Chains A and B, each alone.
Chain A
Amino acid sequence: MNPSTPETPTHVSAGRCSGRLAPRHRLALIVGLVAVCTFMSLSAARRDSEAPTELERIARTNSATPPRDSLPFFEQSWVSPSGHTPSAHCSTIATLPSGDLLALWYGGTREGAADVALYTSRLPKGGTVWSSPVEVIDREAAEQELDRRIKKVGNTVIFPDEVGNLWMVFSTVSVGGWSGSALNIKSSRDEGRTWGESQRLTLNHFLNLSSLVRNKPIYAEDGRVGLPVYHEMATKFPQILWFRPGPGGTVEDYKVRSLSSASGLIQPSLVSLGGDRVLMILRDGTGQHAVHTALSEDNGWTWTEARAGNLPNPNAAMDAVRLDDGRILLVYNHSTDVRENLSLAISADEGQTWEHRVVLEEEADREFSYPQVTKAEDGLIHITYTWRRERIRHVAFNTAWLDREPGRRIAAHP
């Protein structure tokens, strides 16, 4: 080796560059890299299969159990007690393996305030009264678990996996507004009575900013969970977070598919149509003020172009569930500009057209919004929603009630 030749490496003194790598060092490094990649490829081959296998035939929200009664049934109750927090919003509800229902929402002085915390309440199987709220996590606890500055906590969704663990994906903001959110995940092995540590999910390329969540997932037979999430910074679009729940309530691996061509459409709600088909219903932020839908024929991996349907949407969240007879029930605000009513609509053609069916709530200058719907083991449909931004309300009914009198209004409160 000739130290004076610029192309050859030298052990240099301060201020001198080491020059180019020696050919034998280059070769060793290249061989090493190829060996590492080959080893890694073999070990990761199983994990990296692309599209998930067929959607679970009996999805959590798609129980085949018939309704408990063919007579019309409807009941309503409060999930959050009066005066519990000045503000309550963004509820989520899950049917648990035991048959209980668990609702979760965020409450505090106002949306985005530092004192906002996530609360759960339980409705035992067969019961009619929700339990007292239990605080799950607040800003300070999230800060401690995630080892970073947390300014506020927000939108959350809870859902069970196929082995009975309950999962919670919640958004936190370190700086700025909701568009600066990041998502975190934690799990419970006792149906939401206790929760494990939070884990940060890195879903976005720019400082992991702008990942939000609203609606429940779909389930694939290979164990993967497809959670609809969305992005809001600079441009808005839906995403699907695919993750594989690991043993003991940990996340084994995850990846995100961005549907950035669906610009301006957020808060996707997914409905498994059976087989490989999935319907996506989207909140409209494009200014068309219409409920949008897209269809997937490959378990939510690729999607048709989203198109506006025949229902209005005031840029507000919605949720949907597939009924036992194959129809789809949508809970939404039937308006182009306000959230003053909360309505139910039915589609008998897999989301192509909708029929407005029932008005659950309606009052001028009040907000009834952010519904979430699930089906219980007994076939009853349960909906929770934000009531005037003050409380979380729950209604339960069967399809006989839903089909009774199209166009009627329900607004009586206990």
Chain B
Amino acid sequence: MNTSLLPSSASLLAFATLWLIVLNLLVRFSRLPTGLRNNALLAVAAVLLLLVPVGGLPVWRWLFSLYPNPCLPMLGVLVAQHGPRFLGLRLFAETDWNATWRFGAVVGTVVFLHPVLLGGVDFYYWGWNVNLAAWLIAAVAITFLALGNHFGLLLAGSLVVFLMGGLESKNGWDYVIDPIFWIASLVSVTRRDLFPAMVKAVRRGPSAQPHADGSLR
């Protein structure tokens, strides 16, 4: 194996995120009942799977090649998902999840699609300005925290990691949004918000309208 097995400081968060993703998959597909022994087994199995060498590189290095800068909300989402099983805590309430996915969908769409949709505007550049990026993240985090929403904690964590330079990227946007989190957010917003709204609209359609006498068609 020609590269180091374990993560360096620049790839530590990426390793943690990948580990939680694999753990998530193992939990879903193994369907082992909750319990300290089973949980430990799954956690260790996830690490070992990431360290399996393929073509001279551990699996996690391959994944890191494609996903070098996982955002902090993505890491937080994975921790929150595992909370009930591994920590005995339900870390996110429904409103926290709603805030998380809506933030990911909106910010991801702006950051990732602006070169195609708005040719002359360079949103990504703003992320290089440490002051601007930090204050923007802080302002949004403060808004969520003022509302008591736990998503604010993920943004506060993103800010701290950004200021510490915890990812390979030095751009502030990369600490709050990444393509995987964006796509997951779009899927979740569609499933949780858009799809129910569409169903509701269809149900409220002409066929369901009552006659003047109150009876349905």
Interface residues of A (CB under 8 A from B): 7, 12-21, 26, 29-30, 32-34, 36-37, 40-41, 44-45, 47-48, 140, 143-144, 147-150, 174-175, 200, 202, 204-208, 231, 234-235, 237, 253-258, 260-261, 263
Contact (Cβ within 8 A) B90 A45: no
What are 16 contact pairs spanning A and B, CB under 8 A? Answer: A14-B84, A15-B84, A17-B92, A18-B89, A29-B152, A29-B153, A33-B159, A34-B138, A36-B134, A40-B131, A143-B3, A149-B65, A174-B65, A205-B174, A253-B170, A255-B128
Q: Which residues of A contact B178 (CB under 8 A)?
A: 207
Picked from B11, B129, B174, the residue with its CB within 8 Å of the CB of A48 is: B129
Task: Give 1 or 0 for each of B165-190: 1 = CB within 8 Å of chain A CB.
Answer: 00111110110001100000000000
Q: Which residues of A contact B68 (CB under 8 A)?
A: 148, 200, 202, 207-208
Picked from A15, A16, A37, A200, the residue with its CB within 8 Å of the CB of B135 is: A37
Picked from B90, B125, B170, the residue with its CB within 8 Å of the CB of A202 is: B170
Picked from A13, A147, A204, A205, the residue with its CB within 8 Å of the CB of B64 is: A147
Contact (Cβ within 8 A) A18 B90: yes
Query: With an 8 A cutoff between CB atoms, is B207 at the interface?
Result: no
Interface residues of B (CB under 8 A from A): 2-4, 8, 11, 55, 57, 61-62, 64-69, 84, 88-93, 111-112, 115-116, 119-120, 122, 124-125, 127-131, 134-135, 138, 141-142, 145-146, 148-150, 152-153, 156, 159-160, 163, 167-171, 173-174, 178-179
Contact (Cβ within 8 A) A256 B125: yes
Give bound CA distance, A235 to B67, whole Å.
21
Q: Which residues of B contact A12 (CB under 8 A)?
A: 89-90
Query: A12 — nearest CB in chain B belongs to which residue?
Result: B89
Shortest CB distance A306–B (Å): 13
Q: Which residues of A contact B150 (CB under 8 A)?
A: 18, 21
Contact (Cβ within 8 A) A175 B138: no
Contact (Cβ within 8 A) B145 A26: yes
Picked from A17, A32, A147, A149, the residue with its CB within 8 Å of the CB of B8 is: A147
16 further A-B contacts with Cβ under 8 Å, apart from A26-B146, A40-B134, A148-B68, are A15-B84, A17-B91, A18-B150, A20-B149, A21-B150, A30-B142, A33-B142, A45-B131, A143-B3, A143-B57, A174-B66, A204-B124, A207-B66, A207-B69, A235-B115, A256-B128
Nearest 3 interchain pairs by C-beta: A20-B148, A255-B128, A202-B169
Pair count A-B, CB < 8 A: 161
Contact (Cβ within 8 A) A17 B168: no
Give bound CA distance, A152 to B156, whole Å.
38
Q: Which residues of A contact B179 (CB under 8 A)?
A: 206-207
Contact (Cβ within 8 A) B120 A261: yes
Contact (Cβ within 8 A) A255 B125: yes
Q: Which residues of B contact A207 (CB under 8 A)?
A: 66-69, 178-179
Shortest CB distance A82–B (Å): 32
Give bound CA distance, A207 to B171, whole Å.
12
Give bound CA distance, A34 to B178, whole Å.
25
Give bound CA distance, A313 to B209, whole Å.
65
Query: A255 — nearest CB in chain B belongs to which residue?
Result: B128
Q: Which residues of A contact B65 (CB under 8 A)?
A: 148-150, 174-175
Give bound CA distance, A207 to B179, whole Å.
7
Contact (Cβ within 8 A) B159 A260: no
Picked from A7, A30, A175, the residue with its CB within 8 Å of the CB of B66 is: A175
Query: A30 — nearest CB in chain B belongs to which residue?
Result: B142
Query: B182 — nearest CB in chain A belongs to which residue?
Result: A206
Contact (Cβ within 8 A) B148 A48: no
Q: Which residues of A contact B119 (CB under 8 A)?
A: 235, 260-261, 263
Picked from B69, B125, B130, B134, the residue with its CB within 8 Å of the CB of A208 is: B69
Query: B123 — nearest CB in chain A belongs to which residue?
Result: A205
Give bound CA distance, A18 to B83, whole Å.
11
Q: Which residues of B contact A150 (CB under 8 A)?
A: 65
Contact (Cβ within 8 A) A205 B111: yes
Picked from A7, A17, A149, the residue with its CB within 8 Å of the CB of B57 is: A149
Given contacts A34-B138, A200-B68, contact A206 B112 (CB under 8 A): yes
Contact (Cβ within 8 A) A33 B156: yes
Query: B178 — nearest CB in chain A belongs to which residue?
Result: A207
Contact (Cβ within 8 A) B90 A200: no
Shortest CB distance A197–B (Å): 11
Counting chain B CB atoms within 10 Å of each CB, the highest count among A175, A205, A231, A255 belongs to A205
Give bound CA distance, A261 to B2, whole Å.
42
Contact (Cβ within 8 A) A140 B145: no
Shortest CB distance A4–B (Å): 16
Contact (Cβ within 8 A) A149 B62: yes
Q: Which residues of B contact A260 (CB under 8 A)?
A: 115, 119-120, 122
Q: Which residues of A contact B2 (CB under 8 A)?
A: 140, 143-144
Q: Which residues of A contact B131 (CB under 8 A)?
A: 40-41, 44-45, 48
Given contacts A36-B159, A147-B64, A263-B119, contact A205 B124 (CB under 8 A): yes
Query: A26 — nearest CB in chain B belongs to which residue?
Result: B145
Shortest CB distance A273–B (Å): 24
